[in-house]
Amino acid sequence: MIFAMDVGNTNTVLGIFEDQKLIKNWRISTDQHKTPDEYGILFFNLFSHAGLRIEDIKGIVISSVVPPVVMVLKETTQSFFGIEPLVVGPGIKTGMNIKMDNPREVGADRIVNAVAAYQKYGGPAIIIDFGTATTFCAVTEKGEYNGGAIAPGIGISTEALFRYAAKLPRVELNRPKKAIGKNTIMGMQSGIIFGFVGQIEALIDRFKNELSQDSIVIATGGLVKLIAKETDKIDYIEPFLTLDGLYHVGQLNNIDG
């Protein structure tokens, strides 16, 4: 079995692969203050509850946008699993040519998303990840990572609105019935949800103009279902795209589970 970890700014997504299939997954809060022992106990409890054994893990693959957590997780996996993890970054085989001014600055999560999307659907492709930030990645027909865009995520945008506008309340991210709100909360929900959809659609159109009108659009991330159902410009929803990409990168680097 392969243990894949995608460490994001807000959440960490964990997945177990067996015989090329994702058989179990969890979403936990990313905590920079947890010690290796605390992470180890957490993993032990998750595995025990799922009827899985730590001893059956043969390889571990990690992508992270939070460097301090990587060091802790490396110590955790060495202590509790007896395994040196593969951390996605410069020098790791991904099978994808990164056509950026500085390939090292591209987040590991974006690379593995692009790898998984190209493996599943080919190219050209546009990958949108709805996380703390909303990221857009462009992959050419030849499977080259061609660049992308980064926008504030819907969650932090909403929090900023609450913090810096004294009279506006914190609202739940629910779809309003109409765009024209009849009260402050509905008005905020309309601006947040429908405004965010407008941003997504505008960037998809611009990406297609520069990449190809035939580009397939794949969406992933924690908030994907909230936004994707409001637009017809997204072709496929892949909630575990990053985990799939991590598994594929692990295979390319001879991790066999």
* Catalytic residue check, 31: no
| Angle between helix 67-76 and helix 36-49 axes, rounded to 10 deg | 70
Residue 73: strand, helix, or coil: helix
Catalytic residue among 6, 37, 109, 232: 109
Per-residue exposure over 122-161, b if at least 16 CB sit within 10 Å of its own CB, e if not: ebbbbbbbbbbbbbbbbbbeebbbbbbeeeebbbebbeeb
Residue 16: strand, helix, or coil: strand
Bridge partners, 59 (sequence order): 2
Which H or E element spans position 150?
strand 144-152
Q: Determine the residue type at 38.
A: E
Question: How big, in percent rounded to 5, are the helix, strand and coil portions of the chain?
Answer: 40, 25, 35
Rounded CA separation 5/15 (Å)? 7
Rounded CA separation 253/79 (Å)? 22
Residue numbers annotated as active site: 109
